[in-house]
Structure 1
Amino acid sequence: MRRRCGFALFALLLALSSANAETLRMAADVWPPFTDARLPGNGLASELVSAALKRAGHRAEYVEVPWARALRGLQMGDYDLIVNAWYSDERAGYGLFSKPYLTNRILFLKRKGSAVDFQSPDDLKRYSIAVVRGYSYQPSFDNDTRLHKVPVMGFQMGARMLAAGRVELTLEDELVARFYLGRELSGIRDQLEFLPRPLSENGLHILVRRSHPRHQQLVEDFDRAMQSMREDGTYQAIFARHGLPAP
């Protein structure tokens, strides 16, 4: 009987060791400063997620692919989780969302000192707004045909047009905008300012494929580890390493 118990215990420990030895494939697209293989830690969001998974006893490998491929790969089982997903009912059908570990705040920018203001959606009808072609900001804004939207190829172009007076507003996630204003747009940074009212706020989650046999445990482990990182200062320190303010 003791021999059988010893064998059962060995098998259990071996199974646990194999589970812990698994390398999770976490996918993301290029979205600086959140996810980008050219940045330290593969970006702010990637470093936060990797640190939380490591704290929870999991190993992770970062894979950078276009967004559509990341979603398709999660459904097909090619990837175990997506680093940076907004909630949608469709995605919840094939993936389990963590609690949000970041908040994306979409803010408008104007030329410093201008009288441009945003208190309600109707205010926006008076202004020309640089928007990134093909980008979704918020459904009611995206679908409002009354607005004078000027399509641009990227936030950097919109910000330069704003500084030159060719448009009256542009908009972007606050941390994305701060990232570019601190780097390639540093020459016009002092000419622009954020409006305080966000157009939208969206929680950023990891999305774990439901076909993973331990998807519930992975999400629970991640949420606990992220909370402990907030409490001991690790969370804030990662923001500081990326030169960004922690919430």
Structure 2
Amino acid sequence: MKEVLNRRNTNPFWAKRSSLIVLFLVPLVWSLGFGQTVLYTYAQDVAPKFMLKGNSLTGFCHDIVVELNKELKSSGIRIEYKSNQLKTISEIFSALSKGEIQVFIGAAYDKQRGESANYLQPPLYGLREMFLVSAKEKEKFNEKLQVKIGVIGGTVTSESVPSIKVRQETVAFKNLDEALRALDERRIDAIFYSSLILGYTISASKGKYDYLTVPSEKYYHYIVYSKNLDKTVVEKLENVVKRLHSEGVIEKLIKKYSLEQYVSPGNTVEILTIDWKPYEWYDPVKKDWVGVDVDVVRAVLNKMGYKPVFITFPWPRCVELMKVGAYDGIMSLRISDERKGFLSFPEEPLSTGKDVLFKLKGSKVSINSLEGVPPETLCGYTDGYAYGDWFWNSRFRKIAVPTDEVGFKLLQGGRIELFVCNLLVGRQLAKELGINVEWSPTFGEKMIYYLAFSNNYQGTLLSENFSQVLRQFKSTKEYLQILSKYGITYEDFWK
């Protein structure tokens, strides 16, 4: 028997297997032996996420570790560094897959890495990709047709450099310090990396560096954990992250590092919209967005633990920004084949409406049927909106206008004879502009409107969860009260 044991212990395969078992059991041993579960982590070699001051770690993500430990203490869980040595992101994910560490604080989602590690919801913070340039060379950069762009090799960002020049070359560097030296020596023209790191670099440079105002995808950093981590521990981590958001802790850390311009809390959902009464509009008195869809979205996202922030641009611009994933969502809009290519639509719709033709009261143009509208009649429509086939297939002439309000003003001035618009929106606009109008019957199907999210990892998760919570919310008294507040009944939308 002794000989068998000795042979087993000297077998290389068995020795390797035993080492792996020991690595995976470390947290369990702590839990059983000392009443505390220790989750090991590493610090990444990038400022301001992690920085070394002497032998001590500091930085934005290190501060998050400190705050997490304050909240986890009562649960008998603690996050500890395996060592104070700074690691590359590739080394960190390798350590996660091997079981050397159990968690990492502050990683972007990557499909390949997601096969060996899990991503905790909700995210810690949101950020974007950006281009850093020398402040002195910024104007020259804008004039160049050919540029060299530095990236940090092995990062998610390095794999998604957008095309901003006729000819551009990507040069990989080991870390940001190497890339900055190359930029200072004019061996490269710009650096493409996350707004967290480059924003901090710009703030600390006192005018030496600047950034290019190029729309780029918004993405998130998460707590990443090993796939074998106990589900109970994962749930406690999730609850703690939610508390840090609800108590404004992450937001305070963002301000501590002067990152407000570059980073947002992970529970903030940025939604693009426009003035479109009674669905959504900006109230200058309240200095906030209101409307039936706004109130419903705000209530549903709050129940999910998220805080919506509404942002406006002209509608075509909103759509273009969502094509590059610059914001989290856009409302209220219809599904189309084109939009499904860059947006994630929830199964549950947000609201409905009917598109009709408006004309000035007393106009001789007949709108009782599409066939009765003379072919020479000029009808306005809002550029970028998705109308039904009945409209596009009709014989009358069509002209695009930038907004519904412009369309009604053109109708009022006799520049156009008809304007197609959502019935509720058109009646509201006509009332505010003091225009006496008439409208046609509904020629097409009922319009179904959605809050659509970015077609990426976080957007897909938000879309699925939003759909579930919205479906439940529609059966509540609170939902009916929101509809009633804007003079809408449940039957108006859903019957």
TM-score range, shorter chain: 0.7 to 0.9
Aligned equivalent of 1:73: 321
What is the rounded CA distance, in whole Å, between the counterparts of 1:243 and 1:17 in structure 2?
40
Whether 2:340 is the aligned partner of 1:92: answer yes
Aligned equivalent of 2:463: 219
Contact 2:381 2:419 in 1 (8 A): no
Contact 1:75 1:94 in 2 (8 A): yes
What is the rounded CA distance, in whole Å, between the counterparts of 1:151 and 1:60 in structure 2?
31
Whether 2:18 is the aligned partner of 1:4: answer no
SS, match of residue 355 in structure 2: strand
Aligned equivalent of 1:42: 289
TM alignment of 1:1-247, pairs within 5 A? 1=28, 2=31, 3-4=36-37, 6-7=76-77, 9=232, 12-18=235-241, 21=245, 22-38=267-283, 42-44=289-291, 45-98=293-346, 99-110=348-359, 111=361, 116-119=366-369, 121-125=370-374, 128-132=377-381, 134=383, 137-139=387-389, 141-142=391-392, 144=394, 146-148=395-397, 154-160=406-412, 169-185=418-434, 188-189=435-436, 192-199=437-444, 201-213=446-458, 215-244=459-488, 247=492
TM-aligned CA deviation for residue 36 of structure 1:
2.5
For residue 313 of structure 2, what is the amino acid of its counterpart? V
Contact 2:379 2:419 in 1 (8 A): yes
For residue 95 of structure 1, what is the amino acid of its counterpart? L
Contact 1:70 1:79 in 2 (8 A): no
TM-aligned CA deviation for residue 179 of structure 1:
1.3
Shift of the 103–115 alpha-carbon distance from structure 1 to 2, 3 Å rule, reads: same
TM-aligned CA deviation for residue 168 of structure 1:
6.0
SS, match of residue 467 in structure 2: helix
TM-aligned CA deviation for residue 177 of structure 1:
0.9
TM-aligned CA deviation for residue 71 of structure 1:
3.1
Contact 1:48 1:238 in 2 (8 A): yes
Aligned length: 237
What is the rounded CA distance, in whole Å, between the counterparts of 2:382 and 2:465 in structure 1?
38
SS, match of residue 13 in structure 1: helix
Higher deviation after alignment, 62-71 or 49-58: 62-71
Please list the CA deviations of residues 75-113 of structure 1 after superposition, one character each: whole Å capped at 9, or x if unmatched. Answer: 444311112222122222232102322123111235369
For residue 4 of structure 1, what is the amino acid of its counterpart? T
TM-aligned CA deviation for residue 196 of structure 1:
2.4
What is the rounded CA distance, in whole Å, between the counterparts of 1:54 and 1:193 in structure 2?
40
What is the rounded CA distance, in whole Å, between the counterparts of 1:33 and 1:122 in structure 2?
31
Contact 2:355 2:422 in 1 (8 A): yes
Contact 1:127 1:169 in 2 (8 A): no
What is the rounded CA distance, in whole Å, between the counterparts of 1:194 and 1:53 in structure 2?
36
What is the rounded CA distance, in whole Å, between the counterparts of 2:303 and 2:344 in structure 1?
20
What is the rounded CA distance, in whole Å, between the counterparts of 1:32 and 1:155 in structure 2?
15
For residue 235 of structure 1, what is the amino acid of its counterpart? Y
For residue 18 of structure 1, what is the amino acid of its counterpart? V
Shift of the 69–54 alpha-carbon distance from structure 1 to 2, 3 Å rule, reads: same
Contact 2:365 2:373 in 1 (8 A): no
For residue 318 of structure 2, what is the amino acid of its counterpart? A
In structure 1, stretches of 5+ residues that fail to align are none
Aligned equivalent of 2:186: none
What is the rounded CA distance, in whole Å, between the counterparts of 2:328 and 2:242 in structure 1?
14
Shift of the 78–18 alpha-carbon distance from structure 1 to 2, 3 Å rule, reads: farther
For residue 78 of structure 1, what is the amino acid of its counterpart? A
SS, match of residue 332 in structure 2: strand
Shift of the 72–116 alpha-carbon distance from structure 1 to 2, 3 Å rule, reads: closer
What is the rounded CA distance, in whole Å, between the counterparts of 1:211 and 1:60 in structure 2?
18
SS, match of residue 439 in structure 2: strand
Share of identical aligned residues, percent? 19
Contact 1:109 1:170 in 2 (8 A): yes
Tell me which of the two structures has the higher relative contact order, counting C-alpha pairs closer than 8 angstroms and 6 or more residues apart: 1
Q: Which structure has the larger Rg over C-alpha atoms?
A: 2
Shift of the 29–128 alpha-carbon distance from structure 1 to 2, 3 Å rule, reads: same
Please list the CA deviations of residues 104-154 of structure 1 after superposition, one character each: whole Å capped at 9, or x if unmatched. Answer: 3111235369793433x322236735424746544563465x425577782
Shift of the 83–16 alpha-carbon distance from structure 1 to 2, 3 Å rule, reads: farther
SS, match of residue 118 in structure 1: coil
Contact 1:37 1:64 in 2 (8 A): no
What is the rounded CA distance, in whole Å, between the counterparts of 2:271 and 2:427 in structure 1?
26
